Chains A and B, each alone.
Chain A
């Protein structure tokens, strides 16, 4: 059942279009990975959906949550959605917590707001949540300030705060990018556990395909403000169809293969002020034809499943390195 339905979402900053019509459905309880380079619009999509972009951003299109339109909705209506229906955690956990407020108080604020818990009840619940996200001796550390926790622990606290509203959907905006590799794995593990236990849906925004494969059922690849490919994790990893997706995989080192140069995607992400005509990826695309430089492909369902926006998709399933097979199994 579709829970959030985004249609033709467009965002412009100071007249520069950064999101060019995104269509995306999130079903109840599913985990979707949103993948792409920095600036491709993956975070902007959700910040726009929740009305968290600064005032100068122009947002159009539609974001429906259980039929309720969020784009252009009055502020009180959106405030009821934030934290309660859709919660969000961010990339830099240490600066995402208010430095001058005790972490317990910040969690209790959400509990009061969304569940009406106050005083001792709120405190007990905050401690339970901290305990659940794996903060050791939560009962005593509930009164500490954010700077007294490590980055990984701050992200756990952010997750506890997000869970306080018992949301139906958690948007995790690059939650592990700022963390050490070992801590990343712990946070991914925690997110997986929580999702199993609560059954909430999750959108996992990341440029790390490996992380996405661990947490998500389905992945959506974005490039220059558009979705270029969407498929379930297994198909996307075994047979990427869009040349950009294929390029992303080719740029990941394979631990089992002989040592050799990685294959980079040549060129750089286009400037949103100055997008190429036709397919935005065509200047960097090894498969581009003259047609690709004049016409823009739309996202189309493919016979083998999944959606791709490309005139020259990578054809047959090729043998790709067995990426994180253990995680997919």
Chain B
């Protein structure tokens, strides 16, 4: 008796004829990709669009110079009345201002649930869709830390903001093997009468600091 694997692959080949790596590669190269691949806006306009989209998702956005980051963090956390913040390894010391910062040490699920806030950086921002891309890397940490706490403060250098999804995908090409999360605003559902409700299981509140 053949294994399920052999049987399914045999059925696939019988259904449409066998392919080889070579024939597949040749036909792959012919795929039409005439969709938009580059930015159409100036970088300043891209940042404005990004900010507008994030605000549509009810995120607060702050633009600061590199030297003002610590002060901005202090200000944001104070306005949110947050005193204790979970952070991944690799965040610059001078950003950790205005609260108690606790570095993630493989906390258990229950321990993570004890944190109300998390602060991280991110890999890329996408203006068109108001998306921020997180990856498992220094400064961003493992996926669970940006998921369990109810509040996420995300810091992103302005040079990491692109206009389109395609540009972002091409930047991510180099690190595509890392666990990657795109998030666009706080978690949401429209399952009841198509009414968008903010915040189901992921963070319900998101603030973004854009750093020059």
A, B assembled together:
no
Q: Which residues of B contact A (CB under 8 A)?
A: none
Q: Which residues on A are within 8 Å of B, measured CB to CB?
A: none
